[in-house]
Structure 1
Amino acid sequence: MIKILKLLRRSIPIAVCGALLLFACSKSKQPDTTPRYDPSKPLTLQRFTPDSGGVGTQMIIYGENFGSDPAIVKVFINDVPAPVVGVKNNTIFVLIPSQAGEGPVKVKVGADAAMKEVTSTTHFNYLFNPVVGTLAGFTDKDGKTAIVDGDIKKAQFEEPYWLVFDQHKNLYLLEEYRGLRFIDSARTMVKTLFRTGNGLDRPRTLAFNPTFDTLYVTNDQWDERGLSTAILTPESGFTRWNSLIFSQTTNGGDANPKTGDFFFNSYAKGEMFKWDRTTKSSRLMYRVDDVNWEFNIQFAPSGDFAYIVVVNQSYVLRTKYNRETGMLDAPVHFAGGRGQHAHRDGVGADARFDHPQQGTFDKNNNFYLADVMNHCIRKITPEGVVSTFAGRPREYGYADGPLRKAQFDRPQGIAYDEAAATFYVADQKNRRIRTISVE
């Protein structure tokens, strides 16, 4: 303090120096009033606000004896840890965590033997806030794009079409007429695995077998002597394909996720086939009423049934997998009006689609379907109830945001990552990979 006074005397009057010294001394004598947690006193939780909200919502918890050290305060919403952003003795500020659900608010303060906890008598109600975003892809000011690999922020797409995951959640993407692209599980990088040509000119669908060591690629061509299905394997990094099936006009196929049996179509005659892995030959199962119909086959995760999505006739069939015979039963009409292209939510045949394409399942066997010319994503329950999940029906465009305010332009492909609660959409004419986050 003496050194400070000597310095002050050189620049300010003595009276001012004395006042500063008095102020400094008085400040040093004031007690520390910072509220501290007292383990000898009760911990109380009186109320919290708001009582509902989505991820990232700020909650204020009111009570007593919280202290002021966030390091010793833990908060749980329905037993899900919530980030603590501030504490002021009688208030705690937290952010609502993802997928908190409905349940009480629990506060823990202190450490080891000094820790106390208290739980609210009322429940917080978590509100899901699904939103459509963009993962990758863009167009220039003239609406042009190209096939560009590399950093996902700089990558571009031309005709994104069909999507599948491998066991590591890497994403494999067909570009219609162009080839196979790859997006890593960290969603940081895009690369091209192969380009079309040499007989594989219009790849239409992708399907992994249950062990992920075979990737089936169906090939749409009119030559019955041409290649209808190729396979790729991890040995080449899925970059080199080998011919598997010839002699059918194929535009759809899928592998049963439990048994590995591969089924595919011949659209010229409306035929359904099973590939016999032992004899390496195709086995005709049955013919359907339509000919020259474009359709694909998509199995439920259980492998117990599959949907046959009839693209150019805008309806959906359902077929059961017969475990005794290893075949697919004759399909039955499930949803949509045959040959009636429109948009209408409803039940079964009363609903309307307009050129539906790829679909994907959630854990409850709800089927989410890219409804191409309706520019939206539809949802079909196991009971056949059809609703609009995302997008503006009959209004194409590009807009991120809440589900029913977002816009797509002829979405073709869709895949669902249950662990991340995120859908990925091949938004073809927007030249982008879109996301639908449903937590």
Structure 2
Amino acid sequence: MIRILKWLRGSLPFAVFGGMLLAACSKKESSDTLVKFDPSKPVTISRFTPDSGGVGTQMLIYGSNFGSDRNLVKVFINGKPAPVIGVKDTIMYVLVPSRAGEGKLTLQIGKEGDAKEVVAAGDFKYLFNQSVGTLAGFTDKDGKTAIVDGEIAKAQFEEPYWLTFDQHKNIYMLEEYRGMRFIDSARTYVKTMFRTGNGLDRPRTLAFNPTWDTLYVTNDQWDDRGLSTAVLTPATGFTKWNALILSKTTNGGDANPITGDFFFNSYSKGEMFKWDRQSRSTKFMYRVDDVDWEFNIQFAPSGDFAYIVVVNKSYILRTRFNKETGTLEAPVHFVGGRGQHDYRDGIGVDARFNHPHQGTFDKDNNFYVADAENHCIRKISPEGVVSTFAGRPRERGYADGPLRKAQFNLPRGIVYDDATATFYVADQVNRRIRTISVE
């Protein structure tokens, strides 16, 4: 297998090679083919490539006695932990972490307290990078596209809409009115998990519970007896859904990342509900403000608070999670002008948005929201300071490059990978998944 992989390394593009390595490393192998790390033998590094790059750069490490158990392997670049994507005895696939700097590559293999450590010859040079790029998707000369699975360079999308990670940083993505897609953690291939139909016709949001064994999918429809929220589980590989909640006009929901409590809305009456897992029933909490309120709910990583992004009124509320009662308290107006669809950076209610959609948090609780009809990404500090992060406000288009020179066209979804300091954006009308790498 290793000889084949080495030969392929010189014959295939890096992304394709990395995907084949990941597939080889993640297969369920029988005990007689699994290569085990031998603690009685030395671990060596013969070389690594490339020797420079920015955050998220795909790196291959060659050597001996790596084993095949990714859980026993740790890689550090200048002291910064690098995500290990795959390992296969004499070759390893990792991603360069954010702000790695210039220094040595260190490999640790073995159990805690008894791991072997080896330092590679030569230094890795970190290259700072601040730019918008394209991960996947394209249109033909007439601007047309389709739903195409397979190798990421050939994959296509029709309505990329909402994004979320699992614990391995695989991406699950909704396509509006189409279904759910999947992008592997090595970013080498795309596949369709399910298509819409049978009552799940307009999936709106995705949310994993804290143990990653339940994926909630909210569904927007107009029947009190119709499907409001479906769930998917690892038992079917997250490909088959089961009905969970029947309700009216739900267009947003999220699970508290600490407690697992699931909250969802009703558009027609502007209501907030909690799903009671014990009684398997819904609990009404409050009305947000008025009827016909399209909003989604997005928890901070701490679970202490959530933002309610009011899409069709272009402002954002903040609500505190009460740990004693397990409920979201009545929200307060945080940023943006209610019903004022416009563009303006500023503080609190003086700022303006135009149909903001999904947002994501960094480690400092800054909130980055896809400001869809302003065609840009906005940043909201915990104090309510709103600034433009990426894109050209009010200028739709498609262009990679520096943050404020790049262009989007109706960006809807966004998630952030802190390990690689990379944002992923569902750029709906451009039919692409974009990346934002920022130092």
The question of a shared fold, defined as TM-score above 0.5 by the shorter chain, is answered with yes
Query: 2:324: which partner in 1?
Result: 324
| Amino acid aligned to 1:354 | N
- Match for residue 426 of structure 1? 426
Separation in 2 of the partners of 1:320 and 1:345? Answer: 25
TM-score w.r.t. the length of structure 1 is: 0.73
2:205 corresponds to: 205
Instruction: Rate the CA distance shift 1:290–1:128 in 2: closer, same or farther, 3 A.
Output: farther
Q: 1: CA distance between counterparts of 2:186 and 2:286? A: 43
Task: Provide the C-alpha distance between the structure 2 equivalents of 1:345 and 1:258, rounded to a whole number of angstroms.
Answer: 32
Deviations 1:177-218 (A, max 9, x none): 000000000100100000000000000000000000000000
CA distance in 1, matches of 2:292, 2:223: 14
Q: How does 1:25-424 map to 2 (within 5 A)?
A: 99-100=99-100, 128-424=128-424
Cα deviation, 1:393-431, whole Å, max 9, x if unaligned, reads: 000000000000000000000000110110000000000
- Residue of structure 1 equivalent to 2:84: none
Question: Would the alpha carbon gap of residues 79 and 149 (structure 1) be closer, same or farther in structure 2, given more than 3 Å must change?
Answer: closer
Q: Distance in 2 between matches of 1:198 and 1:144?
A: 27
The code of the aligned residue for 1:388 comes to T
Which TM-score applies when normalising by structure 2?
A: 0.73
Alignment of 1:5-20 (within 5 A): none
TM-fit CA distance, 1:80: 7.6
Cα shift at 1:288 = 2.2
Which has the greater radius of gyration?
1
Give the match's secondary structure for 2:145: coil
Could you tell me how far apart the structure 1 residues matched to 2:335 and 2:348 are? 4
Equivalent-residue separation in structure 1 for 2:80 and 2:192 (angstroms): 40
Mark the CA change 1:150 to 1:80 in structure 2 (over 3 Å): closer, same or farther.
closer
Map of 1:6 onto structure 2: none
What does the per-residue CA deviation read over 1:130-180, in whole Å, with 9 as the maximum and x for residues that have no partner?
Answer: 100000000000000000000000000000000000000100000000000
Is the partner of 2:259 in helix, strand or coil? coil
Give the structure 1 partner of residue 16 of structure 2: none
Secondary structure of 2:292's counterpart equals coil
Tell me which amino acid in the other structure corresponds to 2:238. Answer: F
Residue 4 of structure 1 corresponds to none
Give 1:224 shift: 1.5
Return closer, same or farther for 1:263/1:97 CA change in 2, 3 Å cut-off: closer
* Equivalent residue number for residue 88 of structure 1: none
Post-superposition offset of 1:280: 0.3
Q: Is the 8 A contact 2:98 2:421 kept in 1?
A: no
Gaps of 5+ in 2: 1-52, 56-76, 82-95, 105-125
Aligned-residue offset at 1:248: 2.6
| Cα shift readout 1:73-103 (whole Å, capped 9, x = no counterpart) | xxxx98789xxxxxxxxxxxxxx996156x9
- In structure 2, the CA distance between the partners of 1:243 and 1:302, relative to structure 1 (3 Å rule), is same
Give the superposition deviation at 1:55.
5.2
Matches of 1:284 and 1:145, distance apart in 2: 42
Match of 2:59 in 1: none
Runs of 4+ in 1 over 3 A off after TM superposition: 77-81, 126-129
Report the Cα offset of residue 129 of structure 1: 3.3
Distance in 2 (alpha carbons) for counterparts of 1:328 and 1:321: 5
Alpha-carbon distance in structure 1 between the residues aligned to 2:386 and 2:184:
33
1:235 partner SS: helix
Cα contact 2:215–2:231 (8 A) shared by 1: yes
CA distance in 1, matches of 2:79, 2:308: 42
CA apart distance, 1:219:
0.2
Q: Are the equivalent residues in 1 in contact too, given 2:97–2:419 (CA < 8 A)?
A: no
2:389 maps to a residue whose letter is F
Note the aligned Cα RMSD (angstroms). 2.3
Return the letter of the residue paired with 1:211: T
Spell out, residue by residue over 1:50-85, the C-alpha distance to the aligned partner (whole angstroms, 9 max, x if none): xxxx959xxxxxxxxxxxxxxxxxxxx98789xxxx
Rounded to whole Å, the distance in 2 between the matches of 1:310 and 1:361 is 17
- The whole-number CA distance in structure 1 between the counterparts of 2:258 and 2:183 is 25
One-letter code of the match for 1:230?
Answer: A
Q: Is the 8 A contact 2:375 2:392 kept in 1?
A: yes
Report the AA paired with residue 340 of structure 1.
Q
Give the distance between the partners of 1:165 and 1:296, measured in 2 at CA. Answer: 17
Aligned to 2:313, the other structure's residue is in SS state: coil
Q: Partner of 2:312: helix, strand, or coil?
A: coil
Cα shift at 1:353: 0.2
Percent sequence identity over matched residues? 81
Report which structure shows greater RCO (CA 8 Å, sep ≥6).
2
Residues 90-139 of structure 1: CA deviation (Å, up to 9, x unaligned): xxxxxx996156x9x99xxxxxxxxxxxxxxxxxxx99531000000000
User: Distance between the aligned counterparts of 2:224 and 2:284, measured in 1?
Assistant: 15
Do the aligned residues in 1 keep the contact of 2:375 with 2:395 (CA within 8 Å)?
yes
**Cα deviation, residue 293, structure 1:** 1.1
